[in-house]
Amino acid sequence: MLSDMTHLIEGKFRPGGRPKVILAGDLNASPQFDDRYGSKSHRVLFDRLRAFGLVDCQGSFSESRPRTLRHKRSKVPWVNDYVFASESLARKATSHVVVEHPEMFDLSDHNPIVVAFDL
């Protein structure tokens, strides 16, 4: 799907260059998977996002990340939800929070991510 969005991310339809982009959500991918299972398949996605000039907004605040996925059959604190933004927007990120409240556990096995931008 990322290939299908190349022309949008690179600004092919926008006069004046790259657009401001926020790409966020459950990517069903994590470098943790590669580390745990000796694979390289997930890192390829993250390398490609960087090649598009997208910045990991959560990573700019901390190396450690709160889990975003509570998998019922795993005790691993999985992180597979992300917020990426074009460089110009990522520089304006002011905070990052992963919301984990028990009252939300019945709604989803994912914890919402909130990144604030000073626009």
| DSSP assigned state of 22 | E
The list of the chain residues with pLDDT below 70 reads: 11-18, 60-63
49 vs 3, 73, 76, 102, 108, CA distance in Å? Answer: 11, 29, 25, 32, 26
Domain ranges of the chain: 3-117
Choose the CATH number for 3-117 among 3.40.640.10, 2.40.50.140, 3.20.20.370, 3.60.10.10.
3.60.10.10
For the entire predicted model, the pTM comes to: 0.84
C-alpha distance from residue 16 to each of 6, 10, 13, 19, 66 (Å): 16, 11, 9, 9, 38
Percentage of residues of the chain with pLDDT beyond 70: 88
Predicted local distance difference test score (pLDDT) of residue 17 = 66
For the record, the structure tokens of 111 come out as: 């914890």
Q: What is the pLDDT of residue 60?
A: 64
The rounded distance, in Å, linking the Cα atoms of 54 and 19 is 11
